[in-house]
Amino acid sequence: MVTAFAPASVGNITVGFDVLGMAIANPGDEVTVQFNDRKEVRIVEITGDGGKLPLAAEKNTATVAIISLLQHLGSEQGMDVTIHKKMPFGSGLGSSSASAVAGAYAANELLGAPFTKNELITFALDGEAIASGGRHADNVAPCMLGGITLIRGYNPLDIITLPVPDNLHCSVIYPEIEILTKAAREILPKEVPMKDAISQIGNIAGFVSALYQNDLALLSRCMSDTLAEPYRATLLPDFEKVRNAALYGGALSFGISGSGPSMFAFSDSAAKAGQVGELMKKALDRQGVGNMVFVSKVNEKGVVII
């Protein structure tokens, strides 16, 4: 029996729509896998989902990832799977990716680790596609590998792990409202003005440079999104209030995590990140919006066996 923990992740990181992602320390999902003699992958239990997730193996991100792995090996080995959901659905924190990553990693470990973490990403993407309708790696890659990742391309899959400044900390707030990924994608324009594309290119190039140079001042100047945030912010009625609270607290930047509703801020110390988290929480508390705050450094481990 093997249990894996896969952490939440922040997709896009403001300037990298669909190509940047990072892992945070918590929350996350746990998946336990053990052999059975039935020559099938089956879900024996799901906890923490409020009965929302299907027990059919072909409809769950964790088990689809496991089935994909076994098929690639040409194996008929059966597995019983238990899924412990420990993060909210539709949060913009990569919940479906976490289950897919934990499932693939636990199954791989149970089989003697025939695949590397990088190789497992393909199977986790098969699982992620069940939930999102697409093979998006901006949550899967950092969840699996940890740290901050850049997806350069998909054909072939080309993932680059970027350096993480030692004093870079992240505050994430999840407002208890639901934003469907489909709706968050549909609100985006099909075309953008050339000046907006140029601005985004400059910012993502500057962001990557800031990581390599350990230059948080440069990072702060680069954290401006012209492609998605101006449109997705309209789905978050308290976006400006939370943003103002974070920046007032000394945050380096503020943005939307993935497609939302979670939002995140970078800070240059653990103390400041804690303060920023408290101020963001107070901003939502004043609006009567339930919320959860998570503060940590960037998680450089990714998925682990527990």
| Active-site residue set | 128, 181
Print the SS3 string covering the chain. Answer: CEEEEEEEEEECCCCCCCCEEEEEEEEEEEEEEEEECCCCEEEEEEECCCCCCCCCHHHCHHHHHHHHHHHHHCCCCEEEEEEECCCCCCCCCCHHHHHHHHHHHHHHHHCCCCCCHHHHHHHHHHHHHHHHCCCCHHHHHHHHHCCEEEEEEECCEEEEEECCCCCCEEEEEEECCCCCHHHHHHCCCCCCCHHHHHHHHHHHHHHHHHHHHCCHHHHHHHCCCCCCHHHHHHHCCCHHHHHHHHHHCCCCEEEECCCCCCEEEEECCHHHHHHHHHHHHHHHHHCCCCEEEEEEEECCCCCEEC
